[in-house]
């Protein structure tokens, strides 16, 4: 009885696909973190703008301070518009990375299924070979006993 080991011929490809899937998951996590950071910054800017309206209402401002608040609010509004644009781009990047990660996972799973089927075929083949060897040994033993009688 010879012992043969199961070798999956596409193992290097499966390893590359697994590495690619892991890298895609990591890229997705980084893109998602960036999105969260941009969202926090945008919310902070919005709160600062809201605060200027509250402070402006509470205090009697002279003309100079009123004008400064007005410029500051305009600046914050421009900043909010830019941050919204950046946030939108980050959301698109997250979606792109998510799609890449799903695709990489699916490619890896296809090869894993192929490997599983190959392993099952190998086990079936090995069981047939083993059964054939047992049958041959049984037949040889039967013939030896028959000759001995």
pLDDT tens digit string along 135-148? Answer: 999 999 898 888 87
Q: Say what the pLDDT of residue 18 is.
A: 94
Residue 52 lies in a domain: yes
Residue 114 lies in a domain: no
Round to whole Å and give the CA distance between 89 and 95: 10
Residue 53 lies in a domain: yes
Which is nearest to 36 in space by CA: 82, 74, 91? 91
Residue 44 lies in a domain: yes
CB–CB of 27/100 below 8 Å?
Answer: yes
Q: How far is CA 106 from CA 93, 102, 109, 113, in A?
A: 20, 6, 5, 10
Residue 67 lies in a domain: yes
Instruction: Examine the pLDDT at 4 and tell me if it is beyond 70.
Output: yes
Round to whole Å and give the CA distance between 32 and 100: 14
Instruction: Examine the pLDDT at 29 and tell me if it is beyond 80.
Output: yes
pLDDT tens digit string along 36-85? Answer: 999 999 999 999 999 888 876 656 667 777 788 889 999 999 999 999 99
**What is the total count of domains within the chain?**
1
Residue 73 lies in a domain: yes
Mean pLDDT of the chain: 90
Q: Which residue has the higher pLDDT, 8 or 87?
A: 87
Instruction: Examine the pLDDT at 2 and tell me if it is beyond 70.
Output: no
Residue 120 lies in a domain: no
Range of the domain at 66: 11-108
Residue 140 lies in a domain: no
């Amino acid at each position: 009885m010879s012992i043969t080991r199961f070798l999956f011929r596409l193992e290097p490809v499966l390893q590359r696909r697994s590495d690619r899937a892991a890298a895609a998951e990591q890229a997705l996590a980084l893109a998602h973190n960036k999105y969260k950071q941009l969202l926090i910054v945008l919310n902070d800017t919005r709160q600062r703008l809201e605060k200027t309206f509250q402070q402006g209402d509470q205090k009697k401002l002279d003309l100079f301070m009123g004008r400064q608040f007005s410029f500051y609010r305009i600046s914050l509004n421009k900043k909010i518009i830019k941050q919204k644009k950046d946030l939108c781009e980050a959301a698109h990047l997250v979606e792109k990375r998510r799609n890449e990660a799903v695709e990489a996972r699916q490619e890896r799973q296809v090869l894993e299924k192929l490997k599983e089927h190959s392993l099952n075929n190998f086990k079936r083949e090995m069981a047939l070979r083993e059964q054939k060897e047992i049958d041959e040994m049984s037949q040889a033993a039967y013939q030896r006993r028959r000759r001995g009688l």
